[in-house]
Structure 1
Amino acid sequence: MSTGSAERSWCVVVPHHATGARLARHRLADELADVVPPALLADLVAVLAELVGNAVRHADPLPGGVVRVAWRLRPLAGGQSVQLRVTDGGSASGPSMRPSAPDSIDGRGLHIVAGLADRWGVERDGLGQSVWAEFDPVGSPRPDLVVAG
């Protein structure tokens, strides 16, 4: 695992289709496998899968039928923070956590994101919306959940 101190970022586009989530997960895992601890990488992959899956299921694509996926590593005391960001064409109703029964087959995605990430939120602009999730360095105290809207 690398302990480099430079900020690093990536941005890729994936199809606005179920295969887009798989492609995004594999690309993230390939890029960060030697950079972040395995437990954090597992959380990052799970959250990215939820965010891309939600974009495909609930939002319109960006022009070209794609979803933009980005991640950024920033050096901080105690390790590197990671931000994931998924940008899509938006939807009539923005992302929101909803109640789900134990036997429901869906409705848990943002609960998973909130449980694994230190912070998450939504930003909208003229092109669509971005849902982001941030992870503090391993071992950092977790602040309260912040959801921007």
Structure 2
Amino acid sequence: MSVTMAVAERAWCVVVPHHAQGAQQARHRLAAELAGVLPPALLSDVVAVVAELVGNAVRHAGPLPGGVVRVAWRVREFGGGNAVEVRVTDGGSTIALPAPRIAGPEEVDGRGLTIVEALSDRWGVEKDGLGQSVWAELS
């Protein structure tokens, strides 16, 4: 399989249900859209980051109107290769902004944003009048 390394900027946006199947739908759509566009290792990291962000949106935040989560990604040329920005937007949480935490060895969850932080060049959270977006950039 050949991989195209030079890509004009491309962007996609999908809306998935605010439940676990939504995370699965987002992963499959992202993998299908970017197969052959990104090197396999980068694609794997991007899919893992989106899975974590959508999973967190489903577990810890409310949905956008209509019971959905919006997943967007953008591919652009960067330093001779490609960079990808992913953004997951949900209805936000009244508890706290997303932040990595230290999970003990016996805990079965709590590592999502630590994984996002490890795989991404940078990531962050933005709030607006409609909800909350967690974004990450990978290259």
Fold agreement, TM-score > 0.5: yes
User: Which residue number corresponds to residue 83 of structure 2?
Assistant: 81
Identify unmatched segments of 5+ residues in structure 1: 137-149
Spell out, residue by residue over 1:53-89, the C-alpha distance to the aligned partner (whole angstroms, 9 max, x if none).
0000000000000000000001122211100100000
Output the TM-score relative to the length of structure 1: 0.89
CA distance in 1, matches of 2:84, 2:7: 13
* Secondary structure of the corresponding residue to residue 125 of structure 2: strand
User: Which residue number corresponds to residue 118 of structure 1?
Assistant: 121
CA distance in 2, matches of 1:6, 1:116: 23
**Matched-pair identity in %:** 69
Tell me, yes or no, if structure 1 residue 66 matches structure 2 residue 65: no
User: Which residue number corresponds to residue 13 of structure 2?
Assistant: 11
Among 30, 34, 37, the residue aligned to 2:36: 34
Spell out, residue by residue over 1:115-146, the C-alpha distance to the aligned partner (whole angstroms, 9 max, x if none).
1111000000001100001012xxxxxxxxxx
**8 Å contact 2:6–2:81 — kept in the other structure?**
no
User: Which residue number corresponds to residue 55 of structure 2?
Assistant: 53
- How many pairs align? 136
* Secondary structure of the corresponding residue to residue 22 of structure 1: helix
Q: Which has the higher contact order (CA 8 A, sep 6+)?
A: 2
Deviation at 1:2, TM superposition (A): 1.7
CA distance in 1, matches of 2:7, 2:26: 25
CA distance in 1, matches of 2:46, 2:18: 20
CA distance in 1, matches of 2:6, 2:51: 26
| Divergent runs of 4+, >2 A | none
CA distance in 2, matches of 1:5, 1:39: 17
Cα RMSD for the two superposed structures: 0.8
CA distance in 2, matches of 1:96, 1:3: 33
